[in-house]
Amino acid sequence: MKSHAVFTLILLAIVGCSISDPPATSSSAATDATPTSPTVTRVLAIAAEQMGVDQSKLEASTSLADLGADELDLVELVMTLEEEFDQTISDAEIERMSGGTDLTKGFGKLTMADLAALVED
């Protein structure tokens, strides 16, 4: 387990994993990743398996909020992506991608394409 993933997990345990109503829609900025790219396809498969949803229901524009993901789901998904793609994804990268400085509030805006872009960087 990577040290920043452990730190994130501890941080979330301290902050608490509150469940709140996700925003009704997602308006994440477009990324260079396309729905047909191999990276997006792999991210869709990983997210579908982890969240227990049918992969055919997911698109590159599907957000974590659309999936009803909480902070723990984000941590688990990031750890799985890091292992699958042999990458390190920092909290700062996730915050930058989600458009905010508070990781626990902005993560729901992240789309599958955003997550793919994080591992393509």
Q: Which residues belong to the active site?
A: 70
Q: Report the chain's terminal Cα–Cα distance, integer Å.
A: 21
Q: How far, in whole angstroms, is CA 47 from its chain's centroid?
A: 8
86 DSSP assignment: T
Is residue 44 within 8 A of residue 115, CB to CB? The reply is no
The residues pairing with 111 across neighbouring beta strands, listed in sequence order, are 63
Backbone angles phi, psi at 99, to 5 degrees: 80, 20
Give the sign of the dihedral formed by CA 76, CA 79, CA 85, CA 89: positive
